[in-house]
Structure 1
Amino acid sequence: MIIIENDQIAPETCRNAVVAIGNYDGVHRGHQMLLSLAFREARALHAPFGVVTFEPHPRTLFRPNEPVFRITPPAMKAKLLGGCGADFMQILTFDRDLASKEAESFVREELVDRLGVCHVVTGYDFHFGKGRKGSPEMMRTLGKELGFGVTVVEQVTDDDGVAPFSSSSIRRELRQGEVSSANQQLGYRWTVLSRVVPGDQRGRTMGFPTVNIALENGCDPGEGIYAVRVRNGEKAWRGAGYIGKRPTFGKTDVVLEVYLLGFSGDLYGTELAVEFVEFIRPDQAFSDAEALTAQMQKDVQAIDAVLTTVEANDPIARFPLGKLQGEGRL
């Protein structure tokens, strides 16, 4: 997948494309339905399929003192969009200039002049331009005027047809440690994609050496122990994941540490994908390191059992890692 930054000129291979436009934080099942429709439209028109998205998250501009919990930071979002079949991703910098651009100017400059789109696919609630005055109805009108087709996708709900899929709902579930519920809405397992960084190496002295994964600013899922699967390319391990402040040792910063079952070696600087499978227990303080070690032994046994069951009967799609699975769907 080609990634086009804000000021880069789009290659000719990305022009006259079908584009899906939106923020797509989470690339959840609602997003996937929209992206699937755009994928099929592109194939029917023998056109490239692209995604127009925004960085940073708009809330970062309007509420700079409130870090945003990004379900899928840029690198993870790119992998998932590639997994949905996108040929390219156009990233528009969401700054004061873009936020103040009139809706019609946004369409003319960013979609028509920059990309020469032949068709736009957007959600029913997508608003754009200064004061969010641009609407799906305006997009349809401008499409007729400027010569591109428009598809507006209505709200996508769960299998019961009741609850709509939404990034806000998924963030809420993750904050509460309800990772299984969040995963059902995502259609894949929530994954942290980041690099291994140095830690305090206390786990080595307890018999549980961990890898320390850098977290994005604002990332705040429920603190506790998780059953995880960890990937590095084609390599994969079962893992005991910990998110928390390490209260037993008087720490205050939130970390992600993972004990890889059956692994020994050095992974410093390596990019890992940590896939969250199930919440095991909340974080807690222990009287001393020995009590914590005893609990960790129990946690690892429980996690091994959970992952054995999951791997025998995988209930939802495996993490795609940029591979197209079916017609534009994860």
Structure 2
Amino acid sequence: MALEIGLRASTWGYLFVWPNFVLEARRVLAEQDRGRYVHDDRLGYVPRPGHAEPGLTIEADGRRRTGDAAGGPPILAVGDSFTFGAEVEDGQTWPALLQQITGRRVLNGGVSGYGFDQIVLRAEALAAKDRPAAIVAAFIADDIRRTEMRRLWSADKPYFVLEDGRLALRGVPVPPRADPRTTLSFWQATLGYSYLFDFVLRRLDLLHDWFGDHVRVQAPGSGEALSCLLAGRLAALQKSAGVPVLVVAEYDPVVWDDPAFAAEQRRMTGGLLACAAKDGLATLDTFDALAATGRPRGLYVTWHMSEAGNRLVAGLIAAKLDAMLAEKPR
């Protein structure tokens, strides 16, 4: 208690105000997400049509703006925040840059925070509406882990389980976001009031899991088998829609900072790409091209790709699509 009071006195601001830091963080996240997203019974949440803020525009169809382009069947891009284009403006996302490079209309169906399961479900939903010429499904290795959860960052989501070796969808209709006050564990409801505890975790860079509201429903590591089967759903979509599907692996910046982390991420990524290729999908691993720049860490803003990084990725995808669109899907 002496350390707690002493630390609060040193900052003065929290000496007479004692909020629950976990609850406050979740309230801020909920308020932010309430503006950007709307609830979706099948996917959990999707971008709010018509939402706009500086540098970010969601069109009336719920996709992020990519700019004007020629008509004809579009290219549909789905993925997580790397596809959506977190930390960059509308024209700096890789779907927008892909549109500039190819001259084809590109629809940005990426959604921040999605797992690979949600990415596949969104591809299925949008393909039926958009009748695209091709589908690009991008992911990072953490999206594989996200398939093991039924709640991520305070938002409930759909998830899959295995029944007789086959995927079975669960958690739908997805319930609306819970009141942050109901999501605190015993320790978060008690130690969450401690500025000292918050201070220590902040210095150790451990606030992500402390503040985050995640609920696991599958054993750690099971997401790899689930994602492999989900690649099969993309292959089925390729066949039923009659359009080629390209699966693209992207990488978060920690890969370039931590060799052990990089090895594990590449192992997971390689496994999913191998499953996709086995199912007859085209694949693209961006790792070597990023590494070849000699300064891959400089291609990120903080956590996500900068315009330069997105332009490199868009160029790689454009080259791959050129060959794919010259052929019929397998």
TM above 0.5, yes or no, is no
More strand as a share of residues: 1
TM-score computed with the length of structure 1 as normaliser: 0.27
